[in-house]
């Protein structure tokens, strides 16, 4: 039974990824997730020592062809992202998945969605 379940998982996982609705968009922003001026204070005895918090987390913004801005948070700095370059991506629940040029994927937490133009159907 365990072997059958393992075989199902191995076969079904790539199929789920293939079923994603891939969209074309444009990288719009890449910025640190934390305030670079944030200081961390450590009290030791009667003194307090401060040092800057360094975070590799960052926010990435993609504008989709559907007129939506998607903001995602990643826990590591991503090199090679050029603002205004095209990107292929998909929304998978609460994850934003980017397909890289080599075909590999990269998942990030989807933080927000915003319309870049008014929704005509909601205005009626």
Beta-carbon-side half-sphere exposure of residue 61 (alpha carbons within 13 Å): 17
pTM greater than the 0.85 cutoff? no
Say how many Å lie between the first and final Cα of the chain, rounded: 55
Question: CA–CA separation, 63 vs 80, rounded Å?
Answer: 18
What would the mean pLDDT of 88-95 be, rounded to a whole number? 96
Q: Examine the pLDDT at 120 and tell me if it is beyond 80.
A: no
Look up tokens 């994927």; give the residue: 105
**3 state SS of 124:** coil
Residues near 34 by beta carbon (within 8 Å), at least 6 away in sequence: 53, 55, 57
Q: Examine the pLDDT at 13 and tell me if it is beyond 50.
A: no
What would the mean pLDDT of 47-65 be, rounded to a whole number? 78
């Amino acid at each position: 039974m365990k072997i059958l379940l393992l075989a199902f998982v191995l076969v079904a996982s790539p199929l789920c990824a293939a079923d994603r609705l891939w969209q074309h968009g444009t990288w719009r922003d890449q910025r640190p997730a934390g305030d670079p001026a944030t200081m961390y204070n450590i009290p030791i005895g009667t003194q307090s020592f401060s040092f800057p918090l360094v975070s590799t987390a960052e926010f990435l913004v993609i504008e989709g062809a559907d007129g939506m801005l998607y903001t995602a948070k990643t826990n590591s700095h991503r090199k090679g992202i050029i603002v205004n370059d095209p990107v292929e991506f998909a929304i998978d629940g609460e994850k934003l998945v980017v397909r890289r040029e080599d075909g590999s994927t990269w998942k990030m937490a989807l933080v927000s969605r915003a319309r870049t133009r008014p929704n005509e159907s909601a205005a009626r």
